[in-house]
Amino acid sequence: MKRILIAGLLLALGLGPAGAQQLVLPLDSVLTGALRASPLLRQSGEERREQEALRRGSFSLLNPGLTVESPTGEFFTLGVQQLFDFPTVYTRQARVGRAQVELADRSLAVARAGVRRDVRLAYLALQVAEARQQQLRSQDSLLRTLATASERLFAAGEVDYLQRVSTAAESRQASNRVQQAEADRRAAQRRLGLLLGRPTADLATGTDLSRPANLPSQAPLALIDVADTAQLRGSPQWALYTQNIEVSRQNLRLARARNLPGLSLGYINQGPRETPQIQRLQAGLTLPVFFFLNRSRTQAAEARLRAATAQREAAALEQNSQYQQALADARKFGASLRYYQETGLPQAVTIIRTAQRLFQAGEVSYYLFVQSVNQAFQIRTDYLDAVRGYQEALIQLNYLQGQ
């Protein structure tokens, strides 16, 4: 009976023969598919095309005025008149249009970075959920075997009632944790599927994060130690807020340009029918006598510029706060990963092997054997939490730095 339990333990903990390889869903393919399927990127792309169309129409004129006049009261003649803003207005409008297109480009870059971050987090969540479910299934399988063996040993009078009940309770708890892990995996799978536009697809990463060989490289930690918040100025978010300031500045210049006089051109008849030149040109100026009406628009543009500047400052403070939190998390979980790599996981293997040897020799009780195995599984569970926390922190740092 002990040999059967030990063999089941080795297989459950992955110390026995290797199983079949699971189909891997590469992260690069997921990123490509998510960027193609994202409705947010489609929205940003259409907004960019909207601004491009508006830019092409920035040289906008008022509709010409068509008049019917009777210069002498004896006949009627047609005339046409066109009003123009001062030429500076049109140059300002063109600059505003170009700035708006650039702002749409920056917004598209922010949306693309956000989609990449969300996909990486969703992919990581599915990886961890798969690894956790695999580990809990192994633990459940082992505890089921132990519970069955305990029933037989109790019937044979080799274990007491408390040991039998304790083993059965451990088994039921393990089965409940497996069900919860399955629900978590399906939720993570569905979230990743939604980002890919395939919510019902049976997706899997196949990556076993519970193996020490899958520890993240320690190279990012070295980069984090010398990083500072000045790197945030290269992020798409900073570029977006900076371009928003430029748009506000160009709108202010346009509002001020509208205070300049305009031009008026016409082609009308002011003489009798027998006049050799029937139609005559007319030119004039439109005076901004109601300048106080445009003053409010200018003041609004000035306020918009100040608000855009303050918005960038507020966003910079928020980004710096998020950066420092992600930096602290990366260092904290990085230290945990080094502990598990150097100490925790080797200790888990030692606990398992020692418990196996002592249990076979009859030097430890059945209850202590189960307790030792559960402790080893808990170490591996804590390791998965550290992996997830560390990689989430790195994903957030890369997002804030525009990588």
Q: Return the pLDDT at 386.
A: 92
Is the CB of residue 267 less than 8 Å from the CB of residue 279?
yes
**Does residue 114 surpass a pLDDT of 80?**
yes
Q: What percent of the chain has pLDDT over 90?
A: 23
Most confident segment among 12-16, 247-251, 254-258: 247-251
Residue 72 binned pLDDT confidence (cut-offs 50, 70, 90): low
Residue whose structure tokens are 């193609």: 36
Is the CB of residue 72 less than 8 Å from the CB of residue 85?
no
CA distance between the termini of the chain: 56
Query: Which of 1.20.1440.130, 2.60.15.10, 3.40.50.300, 1.20.1600.10 is the CATH number of 2-12+29-400?
Result: 1.20.1600.10
Q: Return the pLDDT at 222.
A: 43
- Both tokens assigned to 28: 């690069």
Q: Return the pLDDT at 382.
A: 92
Name 60's bridge partners: none
Rg (Cα) of the chain, in Å, rounded?
Answer: 36
**Does residue 302 surpass a pLDDT of 90?**
yes
Q: Return the pLDDT at 353.
A: 86
Least confident of 81-85, 190-194, 272-276: 272-276
Region 309-329: what's the mean pLDDT?
Answer: 90
Q: What percent of the chain has pLDDT over 70?
A: 84
Task: Convert 299-319 to b/e letters by CB count within 10 Å (16 or more is b).
Answer: eebeebbeebbeebeebbeeb
- pLDDT higher for 62 or 318? 318
Per-residue pLDDT reduced to its tens digit, 170-223: 888 888 988 998 898 889 989 988 888 888 888 888 665 644 444 444 444 444
Region 1-27: what's the mean pLDDT?
Answer: 51
Phi-psi region of 8 (alpha: psi -120 to 50; beta: other; left: phi over 0): alpha
- Both tokens assigned to 75: 């006949």
Q: Return the pLDDT at 64.
A: 82
pTM: 0.79
Chain mean pLDDT for the chain: 81
Q: Return the pLDDT at 15.
A: 43
**Does residue 226 surpass a pLDDT of 60?**
no
Q: Return the pLDDT at 17.
A: 40
Region 271-276: what's the mean pLDDT?
Answer: 67
Phi, psi for 79 (deg, rounded to 5): -145, 160
- Both tokens assigned to 172: 């039921």
Residue 73 binned pLDDT confidence (cut-offs 50, 70, 90): low
Is the CB of residue 241 less than 8 Å from the CB of residue 308?
yes
- Both tokens assigned to 247: 């748009």
**Does residue 19 surpass a pLDDT of 50?**
no
Q: Return the pLDDT at 264.
A: 83
Residue 32, classed as helix, strand or coil, is: helix
**Does residue 310 surpass a pLDDT of 70?**
yes
Name the DSSP class of 21.
P
Per-residue pLDDT reduced to its tens digit, 360-376: 777 877 778 878 888 88
Q: Return the pLDDT at 32.
A: 87
Q: Three-state SS string across 19-47, please?
A: CCCCCCCCHHHHHHHHHHHCHHHHHHHHH
Is the CB of residue 76 less than 8 Å from the CB of residue 278?
no
- Both tokens assigned to 49: 């095309």
**Does residue 3 surpass a pLDDT of 60?**
no
Cβ atoms within 10 A of the Cβ of 58, count? 17
Q: Which residues contact 177 (CB under 8 A, 6 or more apart)?
A: 136, 139, 140
* CA angle in degrees (0–180, nearest 5) for 35-39-43: 110
Q: Which residues contact 154 (CB under 8 A, 6 or more apart)?
A: 160, 161, 163, 164
Per-residue pLDDT reduced to its tens digit, 163-174: 778 778 888 888
Per-residue pLDDT reduced to its tens digit, 122-143: 999 998 998 888 888 888 887 7
